Structure 1
Amino acid sequence: MKGKSLPADLLKRYLADTCTEAERRKVDEWYFHLDREQEAAPHFFNEQELLQRIRADIAHTLPTPEEAPVVPLKRWWYLGGIAASLLLLLGVGYLAFNRQAADPYTASVPDTADWTVHSNSTKKIERYSFPDQSIVWLQPGARLSHPAAFMQSDFREVRFAGEGFFEVVRDTLHPFIIYSGTLKTQVLGTSFNVKAYENDASYHVSVLTGSVAVSTPASSSRKEEVLVLKTNEQATYQNATRSLTLEPMVAKTEKKLPWQPASLVFNDTPLSEAVIQLQRAFQIKIELTNQALNTCRLTVDFNKQRLPEILEMINTLLGSTYELEGDTIRIFGEGCSD
């Protein structure tokens, strides 16, 4: 579709919802590439360019004034239909532009009907699997969307807001791209954390294994900025200035973040003592909401497992549950008998 125009009658059938499914996909792809053809950065709607492009495509299919000095009555209906099509297309574009300006989460990748949308509405860290078997550990409130099938495109594209730890299956032919507002994170296969809450002044991308490329879109006043992060490096993106900075992550000898793996051994250990060890291993506070939980004892080995995996195992063993609020984990349960 790139670089090609479309006949006006096809645009008219598309808007009248009388075109075939193949024609619909053709128009969708054309519309998607309207002002991406000269950009490597995420898509932004340009109303003036869209107007010129649609006028050019429609004019290309109509005769010149010299060729058609007289327009029959039916022709006026045809021209009216084209004008209505033009207005409807511009109306859709205008709404898309305003929505993107209000919500940067939708600015990078256009909405499509067959995308899967998911939000973590629980108070737990949730494990989510993508179509390629890549996974993400979603913090409460995080949300994402992605195509129902990745392999139909050259890229594995995801829109994301909130915080999540990604473990991406390696595929050199299909780069994995995450759009968070105007921040773009691209990988081939690695593990990393993205913290990109919409109302925060800054976003953070932290790499646990492999390498990650983060970039900001080009503008009239500046070129696209790209940083390549290696293991144990973190990029900070300032939304106001669209600037990127690189810094070392927490040293391995210091406390671990919740998504970094840890090895812990509990041998008939009271839950109250296990909680102390977990708090020492991870940068998080853990509370037992019922004093009867202190009598519970754990015998289990955790070998290089992440905090949400450890919590799920403990809850399975004790019949308890937990909730995450900010930097505090609260464990609920009836306790254990002596």
Structure 2
Amino acid sequence: MKGKALPADLLKRYLTNTCTEAERRVVDEWYLRLDREQEAAPFSIDEHALLQRIRADIAHTLPPREEAPVVPLNRRRWLYLSGIAASLLLLLGVGYLAWNRPATDSSSAATSGTPDWTVHTNTTKKIERYLFPDQSVVWLQPGARLSHPAAFAPAPHREVRFAGEGFFEVVRDTLHPFIIYSGALKTQVLGTSFNVRAYENDSSYHVSVLTGSVAVSAPASPTHDEEVLVLKTNEQATYQNATRSLTLETAAAKPEIKQAWRPASLVFNDTPLSEAAAQLQKAFQIHIELANPALNTCRLTVDFNKQRLPEILNMINTLLGSTYELEGDTIRIFGDGCSD
């Protein structure tokens, strides 16, 4: 991906705030990736003037008609914008907006008795990225639901109520612990990454730690006092709803704890999609299917540097014009395929 420019019509939708969430994340990741590859010193820019120049440049690169140009699926090369100067202008402008545009992941709604809370449910069949007020992130599985205060401060805790499955990457703040309530189960962290699986109708809940440490507690029951487990990297706690008991397992017993959400670096060089899917299966311990055999004709030339599975899937879908759905432990990729 190094040195490549995104299609002009995608950047136009991004700047006019008419792109989808998946497209917005693709543009944000594109800039951040390029930004990490450079070591330029900080600089100041005139946001208004730069934005006007970006829009003017995009207008010149697009066809006269209103509709964005149609890109055939078999096109294996990136579309370049006109000239090196235009590319640099887009890079600087999109980067500035990516860092300064307000977060739009959440939708506000009142919870019972708490009108200042935000609630959100992933109603898609994809893994969805959600941004908290403190810039912590959770990757929500389909059907996952959460609620939290519209702003964490000035409360002493960053409190979240959660049901479903999600992978959390919590910004460290030793003065304001991040607490997740899933039914009777309480998960408390200062700053780390971990997965919570707590579907309301399941008999047991699971908390799996990828990095750092997490404190998991279960309430007292008629047979025992409150239990607290401190989990470290590659450990998992299982909470039984019926008995309110906690048990500890390690990555040796649950290898998926280690692999499912660990970032991976992969390089595809004119690689058939079926072969790329096989590499993703091995890297992330998840089953991937191509819903249409014609997708086997698609080839990928792209490199991923320490990226998580949903980020990789979103980029592949953008390149191929495909989409995916998550059903249980299986990812199905849908699309028309690619011509020779």
Task: Please report the TM-score for the alignment, with normalisation by the length of structure 1.
Answer: 0.65
Matched position secondary structure for 1:152: coil
Q: Write the mapping of 1:1-338 to structure 2, written as runs, cut at 5 A.
A: 111-219=113-221, 221-249=223-251, 257-338=259-340
| Mapped partners of 2:308, 2:270: distance in 1 | 21
| Mapped partners of 2:295, 2:247: distance in 1 | 44
| Mapped partners of 1:142, 1:119: distance in 2 | 6
Contact 2:158 2:178 in 1 (8 A): yes
Matched position secondary structure for 2:311: helix
**Could you tell me how far 1:110 is from its partner in structure 2?**
7.5
> What residue identity is the alignment partner of 2:197?
K
The unaligned stretches of length 5 or more in structure 1 are: 1-108
- Aligned-residue CA RMSD (Å): 2.0
Matched position secondary structure for 2:175: coil
Q: After superposing the two structures, state which structure 1 stretch, 240-249 or 275-284, moved more.
A: 275-284
| Mapped partners of 2:195, 2:143: distance in 1 | 15
Higher Cα Rg: structure 1 or 2? Answer: 1
- Render the CA deviation track for 1:64-109: whole Å, top value 9, x for unaligned: xxxxxxxxxxxxxxxxxxxxxxxxxxxxxxxxxxxxxxxxxxxxx9
- Render the CA deviation track for 1:41-84: whole Å, top value 9, x for unaligned: xxxxxxxxxxxxxxxxxxxxxxxxxxxxxxxxxxxxxxxxxxxx
| Mapped partners of 1:203, 1:275: distance in 2 | 30
| Mapped partners of 2:197, 2:112: distance in 1 | 22
After superposition, the Cα gap between the structure-2 partners of 1:256 and 1:217, relative to the gap in structure 1 and judged at 3 Å, is: closer
The unaligned stretches of length 5 or more in structure 2 are: 1-110
After superposition, the Cα gap between the structure-2 partners of 1:222 and 1:293, relative to the gap in structure 1 and judged at 3 Å, is: same
**Could you tell me how far 1:221 is from its partner in structure 2?**
4.7
Counting matched residue pairs gives: 230
**Could you tell me how far 1:218 is from its partner in structure 2?**
2.8
- Render the CA deviation track for 1:136-175: whole Å, top value 9, x for unaligned: 0000010000000001311000000000000000011110
| Mapped partners of 1:288, 1:220: distance in 2 | 51
| Mapped partners of 1:250, 1:301: distance in 2 | 30
| Mapped partners of 2:159, 2:130: distance in 1 | 15
| Mapped partners of 2:255, 2:159: distance in 1 | 35
After superposition, the Cα gap between the structure-2 partners of 1:251 and 1:189, relative to the gap in structure 1 and judged at 3 Å, is: same
**Could you tell me how far 1:219 is from its partner in structure 2?**
4.3
